[in-house]
């Protein structure tokens, strides 16, 4: 499993401590991890509003100056409408504001942080994420959209935009098809060319020269990509044996 984790705490020592604990656990477990660190709540919110990184888990300090952990959590749930990200609150006190329960946090971890409790929070987050439908997130202007990955047939480059085709139709958003392909490769999506990424589950026929999708669309495979595409298909086929 690939986990994308954010750490948001105005104490750099605590951030480093959490990061090191996560990396130690990842090195002995079966998940891969990407970690981003933020030293205040505003920078985290600005980042996700601008880029909308698809974080799975955030370790969030409650007692930060300016924008505290309560406000950040409410912004995640209410403004960003993100109910997928698992929030673990980290606090130096035993008092928790009643507003926190509206944020639906996964856990509370007191400071000083015990590594066993942090490991428990990762295990619990993974358990919840594995039973949740996988969602692909994208942004159009100031609006955010979620699409179930199991409903996506393919992505296609369209100038400065990426077109996404699902059973419900098509939509476009500003993006880079290369980034889309890299992000979705762990979830069974195959990069057919420089401009097309398809969902393996919706390929009804595959040959060296082309694929035919379940909606009858045909997509040619460039000569210089045929060996690479074949390797991707074999890898995905092995997963479904």
Task: Give me the number of domains the chain comprises.
Answer: 2
Q: What CA–CA distances, in Å, run from 6 to 3, 21, 35, 103?
A: 10, 13, 6, 17
Please, which pLDDT band fits residue 94 given cuts at 50, 70 and 90? low
Q: How far apart are CA 155 and CA 12, in angstroms?
A: 39
pLDDT at 106 > cutoff 80 = yes
Answer with the one of 131, 159, 193 that is the final residue of a domain: 131
Q: What is the CATH number of the domain that holds 222?
A: 2.40.50.1020
Domain that residue 205 falls in: 135-239
pLDDT at 114 > cutoff 90 = yes
Q: How far apart are CA 86 and CA 121, in angstroms?
A: 9
211 lies in the same domain as 152:
yes
Q: What is the CATH number of the domain that holds 24?
A: 3.40.50.2300
127 lies in the same domain as 140:
no
126 lies in the same domain as 139:
no
pLDDT tens for each residue of 51-79: 555 789 999 999 898 888 999 999 988 88
Which single residue is written with the structure tokens 């920078």?
Answer: 43
162 lies in the same domain as 212:
yes
Answer with the one of 131, 155, 175 that is the final residue of a domain: 131
Average pLDDT for 138-147: 85
| More confident of the two residues 233 and 13 | 13
Q: Kindly report the average pLDDT of the chain as a whole number.
A: 88
Q: Which helix (H) or strand (E) holds 100?
A: helix 100-103
190 lies in the same domain as 204:
yes
pTM attached to this predicted model: 0.60
Please, which pLDDT band fits residue 131 given cuts at 50, 70 and 90? low
167 lies in the same domain as 179:
yes
Average pLDDT for 15-39: 94
146 lies in the same domain as 37:
no
21 lies in the same domain as 111:
yes
115 lies in the same domain as 8:
yes
Average pLDDT for 218-239: 89
Q: How far apart are CA 28 and CA 72, in angstroms?
A: 31
Q: What is the pLDDT of residue 204?
A: 87
From 36, 87, 95, select the one nearest 63 (Cα to Cα).
Answer: 95
> Alpha helices of 8-67 — where are they, by DSSP H?
12-27, 41-51
40 lies in the same domain as 104:
yes
124 lies in the same domain as 216:
no
13 lies in the same domain as 118:
yes
Answer with the one of 131, 165, 188 that is the final residue of a domain: 131
């Amino acid at each position: 499993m690939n986990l994308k984790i954010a750490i948001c705490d105005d104490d750099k020592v605590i951030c480093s401590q959490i990061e090191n604990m996560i990396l130690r656990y990842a090195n002995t477990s079966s998940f891969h991890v990407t970690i981003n660190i933020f030293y205040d709540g505003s920078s985290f919110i600005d980042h996700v509003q601008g880029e909308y990184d698809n974080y799975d888990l955030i370790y969030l300090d409650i007692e930060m100056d300016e924008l505290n952990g309560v406000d950040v959590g409410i912004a995640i749930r209410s403004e960003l409408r993100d109910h997928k990200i698992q929030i673990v609150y980290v606090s130096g006190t035993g008092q928790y504001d009643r507003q926190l329960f509206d944020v639906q946090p996964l856990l509370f971890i007191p400071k000083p942080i015990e590594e066993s409790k942090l490991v428990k929070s990762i295990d619990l987050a993974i358990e919840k994420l594995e039973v949740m439908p996988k969602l692909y997130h994208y942004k159009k202007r100031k609006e955010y959209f979620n699409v179930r990955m199991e409903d996506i047939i393919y992505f296609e480059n369209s100038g400065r935009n990426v077109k996404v085709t699902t059973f419900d139709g098509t939509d476009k958003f500003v993006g880079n098809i290369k980034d889309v392909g890299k992000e979705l490769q762990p979830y069974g999506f195959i990069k057919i060319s420089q401009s097309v990424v398809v969902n393996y589950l919706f390929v009804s026929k595959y040959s060296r020269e082309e694929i035919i999708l379940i909606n009858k669309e045909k997509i040619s495979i460039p000569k210089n990509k045929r060996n690479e595409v074949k390797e991707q298909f074999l890898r995905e086929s092995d997963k479904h044996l």
